[in-house]
A and B are shown apart, each in its own frame.
Chain A
Amino acid sequence: MASHSESIIREPLITGNDITYGQITDDILRPVENMPSKAWWIGFTVASLGALLWVFSISYTFWYGIGSWGLNKTVGWAWDITGFVWWVGIGHAGTLISAVLLLFRQNWRNSINRSAEAMTIFAVICAATYIGAHMGRPWMAVYSLPLPNQYGSLWVNFNSPLIWDVFAISTYFSVSLVFWYTGLLPDMASIRDRATGIRRRIYSVASFGWTGSVKTWQRFETVSLILAGLSTPLVLSVHTIVSMDFATSLEPGWHTTIFPPYFVAGAIFSGFAMVQTLLLVTRKVLGLENYITMFHIESMNKIILVTGSVVGVAYITEFFIAYYSGGEYEQYTFLNRFIGPYWWAACMMYGCNVLMTQMMWSKKVRTNIPISWVLSIIVNIGMWFERFVIIVVSLHRDYIPSSWAMFYPTWVDVGVFVGSIGIFFTMFLLFIRVMPSVAIAEVKLLLKSASEQAKKKQIAEGHLDPAHVEFYKENLIKFDSIDHSEYEKA
């Protein structure tokens, strides 16, 4: 039988009946070309209120000074840098999905890369706001750029990891932005072609005069690959450098060589969790179930499981090294995570990131949408606490016991953080209104409708061996949204 069997081990990445190219365009552009739904309005209102809270809290901080936060002489960073690292981490999935998976020819990424990249850009914007906001004198932020000046040879301090950060984040942001927008070009052109009036003119400009010629497509593919090649090292570098903000310091709990891989794994972990959080809602609200399928959900859950476990190993390694190094201060720092006054924060961190994600070994959990969604939120909470534990819980009790202190956030701390989530969702919701949230052109590459329809026709006309059909059917059973009735006819 195997001799005449055709290979169907590749699962179809797009589900649903009789999907045509036209229908894909219609489905994906529905939110862009129609008035927003009630759900969108509700979401947008809430998100904008959050954004307003951010504007207010940040203005308050700028007006009165960083003292409006809960920081003190011992804990010099808290919710600010926690939020910064959290957002940068979330911003990791985008590049990973778009660049690394592209290079590895993981075509399933085509359905989710657009949203993931958009999410990356918005998350990096949120992170960048913290870089400015946490400075005592943000109006002097220009000092952190190596600009020529009249002060003689006064440069920035190239030894400082914060300077590496400036470069890392700005490079990452610009490459991500270019990559994202390059991918958008053919889709913008699709909107342009279907639009009229002023919309047509706007999208015409936005699509940079895309013609759809073979040459254009060829260049498009080439640029995408080059950008993918350029971005791949960034996936590793950005969070490596963010981790060096801590790893190159002297602070027990920060001064750890495991930080770069540990942070990168953590970033991918949290990034995928955030993609999961967003897409599970988006696919439902925008009716994109055929494009973002259970296969995607499960794949992402698997990545979350793997990276979560990597993070778990890193946690264990940290503890082992603290014990094994014999470093008195480091030992205390790690012990303090459990027996100190912030034990609950450590419990949130280890519980959410390691224990909860282990549930994903079960396929039932991985393929259950509500549980997946809740878990993705839990991971996001856990990763926030991870950064909080690393930053605040290490700082609050370091070398000199006389300076040990507690950190209590103020409403401004909370406002800036909650507000940054508002900013993020405001941008994301605007994005799905004006740009296709799934890469139309790339998804079309995945469609095998012509062969599928031919197959059905053959079955219907009885040209195929029933055993062959049965084998084909069995292999399809496992996919959720496939209507098997057509095959039953055979």
Chain B
Amino acid sequence: MDSNKKYWKGLEELNRTPEFVEKNKNEFAEPIPIEEILSGDGLSAKTPRRDFLKALGFGVGAVTLAACQRVPVHKSIPYLIKPEEVTPGVANYYSSSYEGQAILVKTREGRPIKVEGNPNDIFSKGGLSAQAQASVLDLYDVNRLKDPKLNGGEAGWSEIDAFVIKELAAIKAAGKNIRLVTSSINSPSTLAVIAEFIKQYPTAKHVTYDAVSYTGIIQANQNSFGKAVIPHYNFDKADVIVSFGADFLGTWISGEEFTRQYVSNRNNKSLESKKMSRHIQFESGMSLTGTNADNRLAIKPSEEGIAIINLYNAISGTTLPGSKKLSSKAAENAITIAAKELVAAKGKALVVAGSNDVATQVLVNAINSLLGSYGTTIDLDNPSKQYAGNDAEFVEFVNELGRGEVAGVLFLNVNPAYDYFKAKEFKDALAKARLRVSFADHDDETALVSNVIAPNHHYLESWGDANAVEGYYTVIQPTINPVYNTRQAEHSLLVWAQNPVKDYYTFVRNNWNDNLLAKGGLSGQKGWETLLQTGMIKTTPNTAGTYTFNRDLNAVAQTILTHSASIAAGDGKFELQVYQSPAIGDGKRANNPWLQELPDPVSKVTWDNFVAVSVADIKKLKLSEGDVIKITANGYTVELPVLAQPGQAQGTVSIAVGYGRTNAGPVGDNVGKNAFPFYSFRNGTFQTTAVVTEFNPTGIKSPLAQTQTHHSYEGRSVIREAKFAEYKKNPAVHSGNEKGHKNYDEESLWDVPSHDRPVYDWVMAIDLNACTGCGACVVACNAENNIPVVGKDEVRRRREMHWIRIDRYYSYEEKGENITEEYEIDKLKDDAFDNVTVVHQPMLCQHCDHAPCETVCPVLATVHSSEGLNQMAYNRCVGTRYCANNCPYKVRRFNWFNYWNDSRFDNYLNNEHTQLVLNPDVVTRFRGVMEKCSMCVQRIQAGKLKAKIEKRPLKDGEIKMACQQTCSANAIVFGNRNDPNSEVSKALKSERTYYVLEELNVQPGIGYQVKVRNAVELEA
């Protein structure tokens, strides 16, 4: 039964009024003002009270929805399938090669983080230069080119290849010339690639150009003996070394190798057998080598040739025409004595000259021939292949460019737009070539004027090989996948040469299989794998033959004298000499902040070059350090601050090259001024000296960022030195141990509880006679311990963070007295500043057994370990800096800013990519905490762990400190004092060993060995 009942809600519904019917059609009786709200007016209107909940609801809903957006996910890829060779937390080492020197590359989880020397390397036997140490940072340089470029825009490799091949084909068809300009290449495979390229393009020619060139030596040897090579020098076989401006411990040819050789005749072992070489240096500016010389004579560049002539005269007993006396009596005297010494050491003598002048080098060859050096200290049959640059060839190339004869140029590892002395002329001429290819990995000065940039790999991403010395082959293997879209230059050349083998790895393999492996007695896949493990093959060296010089010297002497006269400045004028600083070198690595912040070993200046002027001239001209000088020579002018350099020859100034880059990257740009334009081209070679035509103060002051501003040791026993003659009589002379090693604990007021060191007592010995002060240890420490770079301004504020530094002290000889105190130095006569002797002292945390820092820390953030180490607990440090104040050695470093994350303050490591270079075993330190040398505690732990896993006791020498490892001079020995047979225990027992500030009874853990000088008495 259906109900007929009707329910109604109101009379309107019952009556069904027209209005009601109308309204009821819609879902809502009252219209909702949706349109009104959504149209501009409704939304912009003030939310009425009734709409509050609506607005709230919408707001919450909208925010919730918005919040549902996924947070960005940072993907880290786990080793789902773990590569067999990678264990997270365990480093892998790969052998490779840096500039021909065998190295080991330490990688962690697939990224190279440190470069270490290969102990089997023939050059430095495990040592490595500062530049090599710093090279790993270049890999992570975010300013490297990320893609190839065509006509200034980014392009793909296929576009590049198509363009270059088309252009090359067109050039070949037109019969125009192609030039491949490279720096010295000794890699057999690269040379083979170039040969292939030239085979394809017969108009191509390989031009070798070195910014700092040794053409003079190469041509002199061609001239004298018919061999266009740089000989292999054996400083270890030389008892007497005379050097004319050759910085052979620093930048000259093979500094690391020569350091090892040189020190082997001067270190503790040599001294104990009562042997020490004698080294006399004649030079204008103070070089690293000059600081190590037993006698150092300051002479002007224009007198260097005359000095060599006089030495020749004194040795040969003849007189070359045009000979004249040197202006300095002391130098003249020294020449006579040097001649006597050299003759007495015949067969064990060596004379070297840094000059790039052919005639000068010919004369040096003549002297060496008289001294019987060939076959002993000089080896012409196993020559060095490190430099092969030909200056005249390059100048001719620029001329060809200017004449429009060259249509295609390829630049590999050269940057003439920066370092050619007539860069503008070069650039103008270059514009006439239609194809200009640069393989630079940065937008450098030359890349900027090229139309194709085909960025090369970093060497740690590359395959390759090197043959730096006759019979010594090293291999380069990649340790990481290419980071950016770069391609190895050799690969590019093979592609452009349309070679059947395009892959450079295959090319290298084939080359080794066919030509090289057999030299090392290897073959096949197994041989290749062995090579990759050892990193090198050494063939039996050729017998070093004796060579006799028998050419006429009259013309040579004449050339030298004319040349000298042309660079001699008149009275009151300066002669300019440009040189390389060991840190920056020729400027190719100018964008490396570790190197920019590495203090120059002599001046201790960072982040700048400067005009080094003698102290006497500074006083005469009433200048003070940091005054900016306008200096003109060879028609080129720069403004640079002056530095008062003791030992600088009066009337000369020195300026370092490698600075003033304009397109190196944010680090290297506009640091200092370019000194390459001061070069000139004379007698077929580049010359590094010039006459200063203008030298005027600008009135501007630009303080140099020096890490050391007080240069004398104030007669303090911090430095102890002795003469070799005294040492021979009593090895303990001047060491404070004349009556045996003193125990200051006996004089202590308190009963000091002896610290229990049951197993290990880690200590160090540093031989001041071995340390040359080069600073490689500083960079090695930077890389190992994640030490921040602070920049020029902060160095000026004396806030560099280096855990190890090299203190360099000058002292002056006056009347046989060693003047070291400030107020006495102030009273010295001007000429006395030429008679400067230098000592280098590596200074780092001494890990004192009674550490003054430990007692004053309020929060126990720095404490002593049971292994004799002074340790820092960064997390506990509150940063009162009391420990640093109380450290007598001032080796503690405070994090003044948050160096790793401060946008206001770019230390060039402030980005995620560059931070991949960090050593994961060492934490980075936050702002406000103290840090200092930890004695590479992570290495100690790793070494102990390894021994433990292998269930054996730790071996002496198994753990090496980063600074020790990179030291070619082996000046640093580290080890366990509890083991009486350890190297370090033996070194510390030496009579020469003293401890810096031992009288404070802080019981430092680092023993220093007295500096010994084998100076010859020059006062005749």
Residues of chain A whose beta carbon lies under 8 Å from any beta carbon of chain B: 64-67, 70-74, 76-77, 134-138, 140-141, 143-144, 154-157, 159-163, 166, 245, 248-251, 328-329, 332, 339, 395, 397-406, 408
Contacts and interface: CB of A to CB of B under 8 A. Distances in A.
A67 B710 contact: no
A64 B928 CA distance: 10
Interface stretch (B217-225, B496-504, B729-737, B793-801): B793-801
B880 interface: yes
A72 B929 contact: no
Most buried by A among B712, B860, B877, B880: B880
B161 interface: no
Given A250-B888, A402-B710, A160 B855 contact: yes
A488 B809 CA distance: 83
Nearest to B896: A67
Nearest to B928: A136
B923 interface: no
B856 A161 contact: yes
A329 B809 CA distance: 18
A166 B882 CA distance: 14
Contact of B878 (A67, A70, A143, A404): A143
Interface stretch (B370-378, B514-522, B713-721, B770-778): B713-721
B527 interface: no
Contact of B709 (A155, A328, A332, A405): A405
Contacts of A401: 710, 712-714, 716, 718, 809
A185 B882 CA distance: 42
Contacts of A166: 858
Contacts of B895: 65, 136
B924 interface: no
Given A136-B878, A160-B857, A248-B856, A67 B930 contact: no
Interface string B517-540: 000000000000000000000000
B907 to A, nearest CB: 12
A154 B858 CA distance: 12
B799 A73 contact: yes
Query: Chain A at the B interface: mostly helix, strand, loop or mixed?
Result: loop
Contacts of A141: 878
B856 A136 contact: no
7 nearest interchain CB pairs? A136-B879, A136-B928, A67-B896, A76-B881, A402-B807, A72-B798, A403-B890
Contacts of A328: 716
A138 B859 CA distance: 13
A18 B885 CA distance: 61
Contacts of B930: 136
9 contacts: A65-B902, A73-B800, A73-B892, A136-B927, A160-B882, A162-B857, A166-B858, A404-B710, A408-B797
Contact of B852 (A77, A135, A250): A250
Given A65-B896, A74-B798, 16 more contacts: A65-B898, A65-B927, A67-B799, A72-B798, A135-B880, A137-B926, A143-B859, A143-B876, A155-B860, A160-B858, A248-B856, A395-B885, A400-B718, A401-B713, A402-B713, A403-B708
Contacts of B1002: 250
B484 interface: no
A205 B808 CA distance: 69
B807 A162 contact: no
Contacts of A402: 708, 710, 713, 805, 807-809, 841, 843
A64 B880 contact: no
A136 B709 CA distance: 26
Most buried by B among A140, A144, A248: A140
Contacts of B926: 137
Interface residues of B, number: 58
Given A73-B890, A162-B882, A399 B858 contact: no
B928 A65 contact: yes
A265 B876 CA distance: 36
A134 B858 CA distance: 14
A61 to B, nearest CB: 11
Nearest to B874: A137
Contacts of B712: 401
A488 B930 CA distance: 76
Given A332-B714, A401-B718, A144 B928 contact: no
Contacts of A67: 794, 799, 896-897, 927
B58 interface: no
Contacts of A249: 852, 856, 882, 885-886
Nearest to A327: B999
Contacts of A404: 709-710
Contacts of A65: 895-898, 902, 927-928
A161 B882 CA distance: 10
A66 B902 CA distance: 13
Contacts of A156: 858-860
Contacts of B857: 157, 160, 162
B884 interface: yes
B823 interface: yes
Interface string B852-884: 100111111000000000000000111111101
A135 B886 contact: no
A328 B808 CA distance: 21
B889 interface: yes
A144 B859 contact: yes
A76 B884 contact: yes
A400 B890 contact: yes
A71 B896 contact: yes
Interface in B880-932: 880-882, 884-886, 888-890, 892-898, 902, 904, 926-930
A274 B897 CA distance: 36
Nearest to B800: A73
A76 B716 contact: no
A66 B894 contact: yes
B948 to A, nearest CB: 25
A144 B886 contact: no
B890 A157 contact: no
B170 interface: no
Contact of A399 (B709, B882, B884, B889): B889
Given A73-B893, A401-B714, A64 B904 contact: yes
B708 A64 contact: no
B678 to A, nearest CB: 32
A136 B927 CA distance: 7
A76 B712 CA distance: 23
Contacts of B882: 76-77, 160, 162, 245, 249
Nearest to A80: B881
Contact of B843 (A71, A138, A398, A400): A400
Contacts of A248: 855-856
B1016 interface: no
B522 to A, nearest CB: 50
A332 B710 CA distance: 15
A332 B886 CA distance: 17
A465 to B, nearest CB: 71
Contacts of B797: 70, 72, 408
Contacts of A245: 882
Contact of A137 (B823, B841, B879, B884): B879
Given A73-B798, A155-B860, A137 B885 contact: no
Contacts of B876: 143
B880 A134 contact: yes
B877 A137 contact: yes
Given A160-B857, A160-B858, A136 B894 contact: yes
Contacts of B904: 64
A141 B805 CA distance: 31
B879 A154 contact: no
Interface in B709-752: 709-710, 712-714, 716, 718
A432 to B, nearest CB: 35
A66 B896 contact: yes
Nearest to A335: B823
B823 A339 contact: yes
Contact of A77 (B807, B843, B877, B881): B881
